[in-house]
Amino acid sequence: MTTDDGAAALDRLGAGKYLLVTTYKKDGSTVPTPVWVVRDGDALGVWTAADSWKVKRIRNRADVLVAPCDVRGGRQGEDVPATAELLDADGTERYRALLARKYGLLGRLTMLGSRLRRGRAGTVGIRITLREPRTP
């Protein structure tokens, strides 16, 4: 993937309403999950419950696949190889703000409900950077 291809992929994936993040179980099987997404410079940002299986799988294996999708996880494009990184409290707070801005009233209400239900430490931001596809 050239730099231009990477920027175009980031633009396309970050502009969508949902991103399908596919993580890997220890046995190598995949688990796709639709999440909200924002563009964050040269990366994508998502946000999820800190105790979710998705977070546990990323801790074990940081490589993921991402693709545009609908609210139900229906893939709307090709998978792109990427690397996921769990963020600290400051990075997570930044993603909360970016998502609240992108998703408007629904985003702000979702962030508020999550904070009331789980507290600030109950969620985590995930920074996703696209990788060059491996050639056989």
Percentage of residues of the chain with pLDDT beyond 70? 94
Q: Where are the beta strands (DSSP E) in the chain?
A: 18-24, 30-36, 38-40, 43-49, 63-69, 80-86, 123-130
Domains in the chain: how many in total? 1
pLDDT (0 to 100) of residue 23: 97
Within a domain: 44? yes
Find the CATH number of the domain harbouring 100.
Answer: 2.30.110.10
Within a domain: 20? yes
Confidence class of residue 7 from pLDDT cuts 50, 70 and 90? confident
User: Residue 2 above 80 pLDDT?
Assistant: no
Within a domain: 135? no
For residue 86, give its domain range: 3-130
Model-level pTM? 0.86
pLDDT digits (tens, 9 = 90+) for 78-121: 999 999 999 999 999 999 999 999 998 987 888 877 777 777 78
Q: Is 36 exposed, middle or buried (0-12, 13-18, 19+ CB in 10 A)?
A: buried
Within a domain: 98? yes
